[in-house]
Amino acid sequence: MPDYQAFHRRSIDDRDAFWAEQANRIDWQTQPQTICDYSNPPFARWFEGGTTNLCHNAVDRHLKDRPDQIALIAVSTETDTEQTYTFRQLHAHVQTMAAALLDLGVRKGDRVLIYMPMVAEAAFAMLACARIGAIHSVVFGGFASVSLASRIEDASPVVVVSADAGSRGGKVVPYKPLLDEALALSSHKPQAVLLVDRQLAPMAMTAGRDHSWASLQTKHHNAVVPCEWVDATHPSYTLYTSGTTGKPKGVQRDTGGYAVALAASMETIFCGKAGETYFSTSDIGWVVGHSYIVYGPLIAGMATIMYEGLPIRPDGGIWWSLVEKYKVTVMFSAPTAIRVLKKQDPALLKRYDLSSLRALFLAGEPLDEPTAQWISDGLGKDIIDNYWQTESGWPILTIANGVEKAPSKFGSPGIAMYGYDVKLLDEATGEELHGADKKGVLVIEGPLPPGCMQTVWQDDARFVNTYWKSVPGKLVYSTFDWATRDKDGYYFILGRTDDVINVAGHRLGTREIEECISGHPNISEVAVVGVADTLKGQVAMAFAVVKDASGLVDDKSRFALEGEIMKLVDQSIGAIGRPARVRFVTVLPKTRSGKLLRRAIQAVCEGRDPGDLTTMEDPSALQQIRDLM
């Protein structure tokens, strides 16, 4: 077994040879000619000349050795259903879906927007797109009409795939009315909408536009749709994520580099083996769902579980019961979910046979030590924190036990993964910070390794300006996270440098929430900040200035307005964006040049020292917030 440091060093110093070897992990129709073309930085073109297909690598490739092994397990504790699909069956369903999409006019390079609950058909749709070379754009089902509309507008899909409804905590959440609203708001109109009817909610069908999956399924039953061999650099999907501005960015991923990176990570990081079962509790609407519910495990020949439901329903043992039933070996979740489980009866951790499970990976937000300790003690398994981003597509920092076993350190997601030339930079000078325990901005020297974002969908300039221009005169990728590194090379993440907040592992832009609240007729200005929360990691707090305060005479009227604003956020962004509180002030803390002092507001909300306030225009503004908190 090579030592990890040498493995990592080689991935940087002998980059092309390293990744040429990794490329052998997947099937190619045509072998790549150039491993990495970085002649036009920061745009990296991986495996040029190669042609391949993600769906082939995830599904067809396994038909030879494991056709009757389970590939997909769709479990819903919302509808009390459990359905398994072998690789052969998955292959058939994906081809039927691919035939349906072709029938509706989708062609290679076209976008297909997928707005779906966690049902098997969502995975069929993703894989079907990959199969025919269409670019999918999955939008998290928790987003409401305005968020959905902006993504439809940007992705300009030929077809939207959706469903009548999802369900959460036993409550039906209709999707179709939100989709109809979004389609009315968007200036882009798809040619067709493909709808899966779960018979959870009534669906109004628009003639000529809306098609039912059931009838297309019958029509294309037994369809044979060969994989379209696409260039390694052909976009496989876009996934929208929040940043500093109100407009979400379409993170664009390639095909060949992504397949190689996932295949490598499955062995070196997750240590998952073909024939075993992988259980990621995430949602297909997030990057974890793309990489480690759908593509990664399937590429590795593992069965993957898609779970619809809460972690505590019917009780807090549900996930562990699935581990027992399907002999899960690798599990992936988020710290928030573990904090939720921590509030349940600890005996639930002991009720099921968890002997198959080797490790639990946690990502998406900081893993606090008490939570890590609790789950580590309770399970008696490796708990592996891993740090990455929608942009990277696979872990940037963790430990690669499949290369060389390394200890975890509580509070640290780990060391730099191979392919990532990670550095810490001094924010003020842009100089690299050497030595231990210095706080800096976590950056990655280009080229980004395979699997990372290629660009921002249809906006190369935004890719360059957003990610690569934070240090004057230097072209380095900024993660927008603060971090330190200890003497052993372990990193510690200290929070975002921008206006992104992380609520229960969900990445949200405070600007998006502010833009939405500003749309209320009686709000003139608003500041949204993330405030530390013991359960969700962070929650959003809003401070708003009202235009006409004459109606705000007592708590009752203030509550009423707060309720209206929350409803507005629910309806346009979705409940995930809803602030924990909306408080009313007469003035917001700003610098004399008019810049909102979000960081000072956040500090006051968290009971910390707001720091240097000499540039603040009106000191009473911060006092109002202090009084409210």
Report the interface residues with ligand PRX, using CB under 6 A: 241, 287-288, 363-366, 385-390, 413, 479, 481, 493, 496, 502, 507
Cβ nearer to ligand PRX, comparing 87 with 492: 492
Q: How far is the CB of 254 from ligand PRX (least distance, A)?
A: 18
Closest distance to ligand PRX from the beta carbon of 385 (Å): 5
User: Is the Cβ of residue 256 or residue 530 nearer to ligand PRX in the bound state?
Assistant: 530
CA 244 vs. chain centroid, Å, equals: 17
CB of 479 to ligand PRX, least distance (A): 6
Nearer to ligand PRX (CB atom), residue 533 or residue 618: 533
CA atoms within 13 Å, Cβ hemisphere of 115: 31
Q: Are 98 and 145 in contact (CB under 8 A)?
A: no
* Rounded-to-10 torsion of CA 557, 561, 566, 569: 180
Closer residue to ligand PRX, CB minimum distance, 132 or 425: 425
With tokens 């309720």, the residue in question is 563
Minimum CB separation of residue 576 from ligand PRX in Å reads 12
Q: How far is CA 358 from CA 351, 395, 573, 604, 613, in A?
A: 17, 19, 38, 42, 50
- Taking the complex as a whole, the smallest distance from the CB of residue 242 to ligand PRX amounts, in Å, to 8
Name the residue nearer to ligand PRX (CB basis): 317 or 366: 366
Supply 623's token pair.
């006092």
Q: Smallest gap, in angstroms, from Cβ of residue 133 to ligand PRX?
A: 26
CB of 618 to ligand PRX, least distance (A): 31
Strand partners, 72: 85, 304
Whole-angstrom distance, CA of residue 321 vs CA of residue 442: 39
Nearer to ligand PRX, 50 or 257 (CB): 257
Distance, in Å, from the CA atom of 423 to the CA atom of 114, rounded to the nearest integer, reads: 36
CB of residue 493 to ligand PRX, shortest distance in Å? 4
Measured from the CB atom, is 96 or 252 closer to ligand PRX?
252
- CB atoms closer than 10 angstroms to residue 159: 24
Task: Write out the two tokens for 468.
Answer: 């690569």
State the DSSP H helix or E strand holding residue 103, giving kind and residue range, or none if neither: helix 87-103
CA gyration radius for the chain? 24
Look up residue 573 and give its two tokens.
């962004």
By C-alpha distance, which of 3, 8, 1 is closest to 415? 8
Of the two residues 194 and 334, which places its CB atom closer to ligand PRX in the complex? Answer: 334
